[in-house]
Chains A and B, each alone.
Chain A
Amino acid sequence: GAGVSQSPSNKVTEKGKDVELRCDPISGHTALYWYRQRLGQGLEFLIYFQGNSAPDKSGLPSDRFSAERTGESVSTLTIQRTQQEDSAVYLCASSPFTGGYTFGSGTRLTVV
């Protein structure tokens, strides 16, 4: 597609449930990033994938968070046993190896 696509755009879930967020990067982009943005705040790095290299998971806040990506395709971010503090917009970005990041519009997650 022309841009980075994220789904769903909005997700309301009950505390304790698991959620899966999806990111479709721009075709040919080798790098993919997940960020979290709480209301009125900046972007918090979560995880980074570059081709077939081992992902940089240094930003994941707890072991309830995990992400997968197969090759240079779709990525899913999974949050297990969601908590209210997980409520945020989750943004995905992709870039070619040389940089030039493009962000999706994000998934707004609300944990009630």
Chain B
Amino acid sequence: GESVGLHLPTLSVQEGDNSIINCAYSNSASDYFIWYKQESGKGPQFIIDIRSNMDKRQGQRVTVLLNKTVKHLSLQIAATQPGDSAVYFCAESGMDSSYKLIFGSGTRLLVRP
């Protein structure tokens, strides 16, 4: 099966700073992208999504940027808080794959007090 079983890189930031988490996706036909947050012992939680006809979308304290030319996705978290500490995953889906989500390798975010 499709797998993204890589050991997780870690991003350590100071509380109050901005965080940027990056993701490279694999399928140029993908047209829907999602960022998930996963806390220990819990399932992934939806943060923000973006469709391929956009290059930026903002939510509350979070912004997702999409660069289709280089197949790159990023998640920006403003004024990072201790509660933001978690593993973050990007996921992609294409219209031709019937909304099957393929997850990227996660990034562990650690927020230093």
Binding site for B on A (CB under 8 A): 4, 31, 33, 35-36, 38, 40-46, 48, 50, 53, 56, 58-61, 91, 93, 95, 99-106
Contacts and interface: CB of A to CB of B under 8 A. Distances in A.
Contacts of A44: 1-5, 103
A101 B46 contact: yes
Contact of A104 (B34, B43, B99, B101): B43
Contact of A59 (B1, B34, B46, B106): B1
A93 B103 CA distance: 13
B61 interface: no
Contacts of B18: none
Given A45-B2, A106-B42, 16 more contacts: A31-B99, A40-B8, A41-B7, A42-B106, A43-B91, A44-B103, A45-B100, A46-B1, A48-B98, A50-B99, A56-B100, A60-B1, A91-B44, A93-B43, A101-B34, A103-B43
B105 to A, nearest CB: 5
Contacts of B2: 44-45, 58-59
A70 to B, nearest CB: 19
Contacts of A101: 34, 46, 101
Contacts of B99: 31, 48, 50, 95, 99
